[in-house]
Amino acid sequence: MGVKKEINWDIVELYVKSGCKQVQICNYLNIDEVTLRDRVKEKYGMEWSAFSAKLRCEGELLIEAQQFQKAMKGYWPALQWLGKVRLGQREPEMLNQLAANQVHLDQSHRIMELEHEIAELKNANKSKTE
């Protein structure tokens, strides 16, 4: 049996936390996926799926914590995003922005347009008869 290739576990953990896929990490380390799975089992005493799930979760928590800290310092995009994601806030829909009596306003506006057209026609007829 050959010499085991040295694995930089700090790099592996960082890449998994960052969301990198197993195949990407293996390509970087120049080892195959079976080797990585076996070495994870040997070093951490758990399957790759449990190992990667734990570290991905930690990475997501770190990202959320950073976003939260930026939001609390007043960074508007972070505040807005957290409001939408965590509090269910959203941009108002256009229909909700219409006045409650919008139909009545539209009808009144149309009546005024028609009255204006009638007045113009009357004036045009007056000019012709004079």
The predicted-structure confidence for 1-22, as pLDDT tens digits, reads as follows 578 889 999 999 999 999 999 9
Cα separation, 31 vs 10, whole angstroms: 16
27 — pLDDT class (breaks 50, 70, 90): very high
Cα separation, 65 vs 93, whole angstroms: 30
pTM exceeds 0.75, yes or no: no
Mean pLDDT of 92-117: 82
CB distance 84 to 90 below 8 Å: yes
